[in-house]
Structure 1
Amino acid sequence: MLPPTDDSSHPLAQRFQTFIRAPEFPCVGAKSALARSQIRFVVGRDMRSAWDDLRIYPNLLDLAWSYARSPSLFHSLVVIFEEDGGLDEEAFETCLWERIDSLSRKDDWAGQPPDPRVSHSPDDPHFSLSFGGEAFFVVGLHPRASRPARRFERPALVFNLHDQFEKLRETDVYERMRSKIIARDVALAGNANPMLARHGDVSEARQYSGRAVGPDWRCPFSGRNAAP
């Protein structure tokens, strides 16, 4: 397996950091992670290809294992792709789930059990992804996203550790932070994100790509089997 990557000095990674630092960017969690130098970067070629999945996966493993050894708040892995490809929202969503499926199969091949604290079925309200035994959720960004907060110059996937937000809930910080992010997002976009929901109310899979989907939407990812 390849070692973890440090692409933080790549021009796209630098521009992504500028994107997060912008006063109008709503996610205060991302701002905190950046201020603490706790965002890792992988810059790949093309989201439509599996070419870089073998580079991305070791970084997910390293983040999961590092967090398990020493849990702390606001760690993320940002994967940015150099090729735009002209992806609209539906095409971006398709590519996002292709990458998730490929990375999840690599986790299976590596013998990593899914996190038992979450569901592994994308139809379940308690669903999250798993890599290296830790639950993750994904935030997708791309140039043609309908929400301004998701509109970065190149396609990008942000992997966040689910347990961080459970710890925020335990300390009652989560609701205050969530309210602040929503208010900032409304100020930026002019309206509330219709896809926003709390974990456990509806499957978070509906939120990953940033595309507004209806009640009949079905996740193209079949999920994973729980550890025997």
Structure 2
Amino acid sequence: MKTNLEKKYSQWILEEDHPCIMSQTVFSQENVIVRDYSKIGFPTTTQRLLKDLKYYIKNYDFESNDFQSFIAVFSDSKIVDEDEFELVLWKQLSDLNKTDNHAWDPSVSNDPEDENFSFSLAGHAFYVVGMHPKSSRKARRSPYPSIAFNLHIQFEKLREMGAYHKVRDKIRERDIHLQGSINPMLEDFGESSEAKQYSGKATGEEWVCPFLNKSLLNKF
């Protein structure tokens, strides 16, 4: 039986016809985990979230072509604007990285300035989608501040299946229909660091990622 939180997010994605067809797929097939951690960036939150994500990875079927997602919700966190959310998002990711005792996924870069960067937890790369009620992008206006963790391997499988560009173009077409414009931060992996996309905020050339990567900090 779905929790009230799961129902709320399912309604946002399915009943409000969210432009991301992959999100619609995981919700319609019930291949999504939605967990509430109350406050973003707290030490207890980090411990619980890391534990749950490691459990999620352990039980993930890497042989399946089904798309899955893990959404961490922070229902008691109030976000004022996109600048604040960007900072707390990267603080939470930095705290997870600091607590994680696994090496970075070698298939991606650990440098957020690198075009091959992707966030890594428990040795596996993730594409992160930050969402919150104050987002300028309608597709990112989730009921509560949230972080969706999508295993990077899923996008590679879409490429192997020859479906990646078709899915990407369809999502962008639906996003334009919803908002009148494409998200200016969207780039294909390898063209520009995906770190710019995580918070949903538009960034300029001068943008510096606020990620505190423990492996890079240890070099100095």
**Fold shared per TM-score above 0.5:** yes
The answer for unaligned runs of 5 or more in structure 1 is 1-7
Structure 2 partner of 1:87: 80
Structure 2 partner of 1:157: 147
- Evaluate the alpha carbon distance shift between residue 172 and residue 210 of structure 1 in structure 2; reply closer, same or farther with a 3 A threshold: same
Q: Deviations over 1:4-30 (max 9, x none)?
A: xxxx84322220111110353111111
Task: Tell which deviates more after alignment, 76-85 or 212-221.
Answer: 76-85
Structure 2 partner of 1:180: 170
Aligned residue identity for 1:50: P
1:40 to 33, 36, 43: 33
1:222 aligns with 2:212: yes
Please say if residues 79 and 132 of structure 2, whose CA atoms lie closer than 8 Å, have aligned partners that are also in contact.
Answer: no
Structure 1 partner of 2:128: 138
Structure 1 partner of 2:46: 53
Structure 2 partner of 1:15: 8
1:124 aligns with 2:117: no
Aligned residue identity for 1:121: D
Please say if residues 10 and 43 of structure 1, whose CA atoms lie closer than 8 Å, have aligned partners that are also in contact.
Answer: no
Q: Describe the SS at the equivalent of 1:52.
A: helix
CA shift for structure 1 position 55: 1.3
CA shift for structure 1 position 101: 0.7
TM-score, normalising length: structure 1 = 0.89
Please say if residues 118 and 125 of structure 2, whose CA atoms lie closer than 8 Å, have aligned partners that are also in contact.
Answer: yes
Q: Deviations over 1:61-111 (max 9, x none)?
A: 122222365443311110111124243100001000011011111212xxx
Aligned residue identity for 1:128: S
Identity of aligned residues (%): 36
Tell me the distance in 1 between the aligned counterparts of 2:189 and 2:82: 23
TM-score, normalising length: structure 2 = 0.92
Please say if residues 142 and 151 of structure 1, whose CA atoms lie closer than 8 Å, have aligned partners that are also in contact.
Answer: yes
Q: Considering only aligned residues, what root-mean-square deviation do their CA atoms show, in Å?
A: 1.7
CA shift for structure 1 position 36: 2.1
Q: Deviations over 1:15-65 (max 9, x none)?
A: 011111035311111111112221012101112533311111122112222
Please say if residues 121 and 222 of structure 1, whose CA atoms lie closer than 8 Å, have aligned partners that are also in contact.
Answer: no
Tell me the distance in 2 between the aligned counterparts of 1:69 and 1:32: 18
Structure 2 partner of 1:4: none
Tell me the distance in 1 between the aligned counterparts of 2:174 and 2:186: 14
The answer for unaligned runs of 5 or more in structure 2 is none
CA shift for structure 1 position 149: 0.4
Aligned residue identity for 1:72: N
